[in-house]
Amino acid sequence: MTQPQPSSFSIEAQLIDLHSDSIYPARITVKDGKIESITRISNAPDHFILPGFVDAHVHVESSMLIPSEFARLAVMHGTVATISDPHEIANVMGVKGVDYMIENGRKVPFHFFFGAPSCVPATGFETAGACIDANDIDALMQRDEILYLAEMMNFPGAINRDPEIMAKIDAAHKYNKPVDGHAPGLMGEPLKSYFSAGISTDHECFKYEEALEKLNLGMKVWIREGSAARNFEALIPLLHDFPDRMAFCSDDLHPDSLLEGHINLLVKRALAKGHKLFPVLKAASVNIIKHYNLPVGMLREGDGADFILIDNLTDFSIQKTYIKGCLVAEKGATYISPVASETINNFHCKTKKPADFAIPARSASVKVIEVLDGQLITNKLQLHCKEKNGLAISDTDRDILKIAVVNRYADAPPALAFIKNFGLKRGAIASCVAHDCHNIVAVGTNDDDLCTAINLIIEAKGGISACDDQFRQVLALPVGGIMTNRDGFETAELYTTIDQAAKDMGATLRAPFMSLSFMALLVIPQLKLSDRGLFDGNQFKFVDLFD
């Protein structure tokens, strides 16, 4: 199937001009993918034309879709571009994974802007599939298609001026490319040191006071609202005082969420809260385009024809989306065609046995990871553990369940701990979408189901799974073990089915698989589990499970 092609045409509409903060009737003429002219007219139809939406920070891989399929869904919601951090596939496949994302994204009419992943692996406390060092970063920065240094997660390294970290930041600055930040909860003197290392943005703020301090320092703050991490409510009040220094991003969206909406939903929510139209729309487009110096149209003569039509300023129902002069979506239908894609992967562990997940009880209490719904941060609890036959086991009555992380790149014993607030009453769930190294992470009520859920993923060489003693379900993700090259709409439907299965087993989290995927993310405090053991993100060291 062929992709939409640019055409020459004119549109008359109410133009939302984000450069003059005004709305007026206009005729927009498009030729060869660019805006040839914008002419004020006396009257125009009662619908509106405005710049297309841009996601200020997203990991396309978290949608479980390859870039071309992500684009097919995103354009329905008025998204024309993404600032895409290929950190996830890079942790699995290295620079080869970055190249895969770029090449696949080029096959469709959509603006994918990729950065150089700054932290591969994110820490030295887990097993990754690849390493990208400062020399690799310098080589990536020389490429025109790499626009920025992606989120600098190693904020202790930046604060302490670690030579390798600073070499990566210096490489970005050498080629006049911005550096994205990643410093959840960081404030005070450590924040000042981090910012002065050359960091320009942060999308990890989860408190108003934290974001305010970062903005006052001169950083730009992206308001994140994804499938798991949801910081919109806490941060949106700041848009009033910092209209040119804030933007919207999703960070991580599962396919069912992307099918429902994207940046358009944040625009609607912000307007519903009484925020003014022009700052809200700038946070969804212009602010991002200017910060990263993107070749994306902002509805000016000579710009690329990247814009959307909406029917009113309340519902923001997307009527049409144009990218590079191509009509790519109309009234909830995508016109981007699927594209053929190769399968790349790095998956080498063997199936496990239930006995591999036994935890000999060495004390009456254990450290427990407490999941917080809608947040990536976790709490560290010390709780009494349930014992049976000398083993520490899951306790469904108190919602203290066993969590396991299995090295996917080589055979090794699982790392084991306990976690609270998943809510499962039976069975187990598992995922190979597990930030940042994408080893297998699983939570279960018993060792048999825990083992089965993990083996389903090993046999598929990547995926998400749910099972109990009555059923087994797996959504295979053969591309890097974290994405599928199947149809995006079908994937969203399959994901919805397996997500519901987890909730039928008792899962109480809004997005149990997305929350699960962050339980091995060591750079987000407080307590997490890597394939090498239980890790305290505040102390930045391994800790013993038992007191």
pLDDT in tens, 316-362: 899 999 999 999 999 999 999 999 888 999 999 999 999 999 999 99
Is the Cα dihedral 201, 90, 535, 451 positive or negative?
positive
Return d(Cα 118, Cα 329) in angstroms, integer.
34
pLDDT attached to residue 212:
98
pLDDT attached to residue 544:
96
pLDDT attached to residue 82:
98
pLDDT attached to residue 523:
84
DSSP 395: B
Return d(Cα 221, Cα 288) in angstroms, integer.
11
Q: How many CB atoms lie within 10 A of CB 156?
A: 16
pLDDT attached to residue 114:
98
Average confidence (pLDDT) per 10 residues, the chain, 547 residues: 88 97 97 97 95 98 96 98 97 97 97 97 92 98 97 93 97 98 94 97 95 97 88 97 97 92 97 97 98 97 97 92 97 95 94 98 94 90 95 97 98 97 98 94 98 98 96 96 95 95 96 93 92 93 92
Alpha helices (H) along 239-362 = 255-260, 263-272, 277-283, 286-292
Among 433, 405, 425, 412, residue whose Cα is nearest residue 513: 433
Q: How many CB atoms lie within 10 A of CB 535?
A: 26
Residue 255: C-alpha distances to residues 247, 370, 432, 511 (Å) = 22, 26, 15, 11
Q: Which residues pair with 369 in a beta bridge?
A: 380, 419
- Give kind and range of the element (H or E) at residue 325: none
CB 168 within 8 A of CB 137: yes
Q: Residue 35: helix, strand or coil by DSSP?
A: strand
Q: Residue 2: helix, strand or coil by DSSP?
A: coil
Contacts of 24 (CB under 8 A, 6+ apart): 14, 15, 17, 40
Give residue limits of the domains in the chain: 52-296, 354-542
Return d(Cα 40, Cα 515) in angstroms, integer.
49
Return d(Cα 22, Cα 30) in angstroms, integer.
21
CB 228 within 8 A of CB 511: yes
Return d(Cα 328, Cα 333) in angstroms, integer.
9
Return d(Cα 24, Cα 1) in angstroms, integer.
39
Residue 319: C-alpha distances to residues 48, 81, 141, 311, 367 (Å) = 10, 17, 38, 7, 52
Backbone Cα Rg of the chain = 23
- Say if residue 124 is exposed, middle or buried (CB neighbours under 10 Å; 0-12, 13-18, 19+): exposed
pLDDT attached to residue 314:
86
Q: Residue 332 — φ and ψ, nearest 5°?
A: 85, 5
Q: Which residues pair with 23 in a beta bridge?
A: 16
DSSP 410: S
Return d(Cα 179, Cα 173) in angstroms, integer.
8
CB 90 within 8 A of CB 131: no
End-to-end CA distance of the chain: 61
Region label for 299, one of left (φ > 0), alpha (ψ between -120 and 50) or beta (otherwise): left
Return d(Cα 322, Cα 77) in angstroms, integer.
11
- The dihedral over CA atoms of 177, 182, 186, 188, expressed in degrees to the nearest 10, equals 0
Contacts of 459 (CB under 8 A, 6+ apart): 351
Return d(Cα 286, Cα 263) in angstroms, integer.
13
Return d(Cα 123, Cα 391) in angstroms, integer.
31
Q: Please give the structure tokens belonging to residue 139.
A: 């080589």
Q: Which residues pair with 404 in a beta bridge?
A: 416, 442
Return d(Cα 271, Cα 268) in angstroms, integer.
5
Task: State the greatest distance between any 2 C-alpha atoms of the chain, in Å, as a whole number.
Answer: 83
Among 405, 414, 403, residue whose Cα is nearest residue 369: 403
The percent of residues in the chain predicted with pLDDT above 70, rounded, is 100
Among 151, 214, 211, 207, residue whose Cα is nearest residue 181: 151
Return d(Cα 122, Cα 520) in angstroms, integer.
11
Q: How many CB atoms lie within 10 A of CB 538?
A: 10
pTM (2 d.p.) = 0.93
CB 91 within 8 A of CB 485: no
CB 86 within 8 A of CB 97: yes
Residue 52: C-alpha distances to residues 16, 125, 479 (Å) = 11, 41, 29
Q: Which CATH number applies to 52-296: 1.20.1440.130, 3.40.50.620, 3.20.20.140, 3.40.50.12370?
A: 3.20.20.140
